[in-house]
Amino acid sequence: MKSPLHYQLSEYDCGPTTLLNAISFLFEREEIPPEIIRNIMLYSLDCYGSDGSSGKSGTSCMAMMFLCNWLQGFGKTGKLSVSGNYLTGKSVYIGSDSAINDALCRGGVAVIRLYYDMDHYVLLTGVEDKKIRMFDPYFQTEPFEQKDILLTQEQPFEYNRIVPFLYFNRQSQELYALGKTEEREAVLLFNEKTKLTADKTIEYFI
């Protein structure tokens, strides 16, 4: 049984919430071992606020890279069929030839850092008609001023936003922009048992 994706509990825990949502999206609840939950929570929220308070600047890129590598290694133990790939810089963009779009078309997910008033982690779960299916862990009920961004609560297991490609690749600090190329990062995750490959499908690209 799959569990609905969930929202962050505070202003700071978008990182671990989104990683846990990625695992929840990819795997049945009964498959997920407690080590996954324990280690995601243990190694995230590692940044200190301006007043020295632990966790008040959220989760660092280094923690995301570590957790991606740990999940990749955990998958090799045979305890869960998870695999991961950490992307940075110019390889992090949205487009028909990007590694992110490829992952989404093959049943994987992408945890990406973008701008939402501040640096923020969200989960990308699919592609449709030059738009990205996204689960943003920051709970919101009011529609966006940007009328082409769809806010929905109708797909709790998959997404709560549908965002056009054009928002992501901007280098500015605007809603859902990936920001400066050199500062971008993404974690691609797959369930190896359900991952589509060239052998399993003839055409999975956009």
Strand partners, 43: none
pTM: 0.94
Please report the sign of the dihedral spanned by the C-alpha atoms of residue 38, residue 103, residue 187, residue 134.
negative
Which CA distances in Å does 205 have to 5, 168, 187, 197, 201? 26, 19, 20, 11, 10
Alpha helix positions (H), the chain? 14-26, 34-43, 61-76, 99-105
Segment 122-129 long-range contacts (CB within 8 Å, at least 24 positions apart)? 122/14, 122/18, 122/161, 122/176, 123/5, 123/18, 123/21, 123/22, 123/25, 124/100, 125/25, 125/158, 125/159, 126/158, 126/159, 127/101, 127/206, 128/162
Cα–Cα–Cα angle for 157, 40, 134, nearest 5°? Answer: 30
Q: What is the mean pLDDT of each successive set of 10 residues along the chain, which is 206 residues long?
A: 96 97 98 97 88 80 97 96 97 95 97 95 96 97 93 97 97 96 97 83 48
- Residues 90 and 185 sit within 8 Å (Cβ to Cβ): no
**Given 3-state DSSP classes, what are the helix, strand and coil percentages for the chain, each rounded to the nearest 5?**
30, 20, 50
Question: What's the pLDDT at 206?
Answer: 44
Backbone φ, ψ for residue 190 (5° rounding): -135, 150
Question: What's the pLDDT at 104?
Answer: 97
Judging by DSSP bridges, how do beta strands 185-191 and 119-128 pair with one another? unpaired
Question: What's the pLDDT at 198?
Answer: 62
List the chain domain ranges: 14-191
Q: Does domain 14-191 have CATH number 3.90.70?
A: yes
Judging by DSSP bridges, how do beta strands 82-88 and 109-115 pair with one another? unpaired
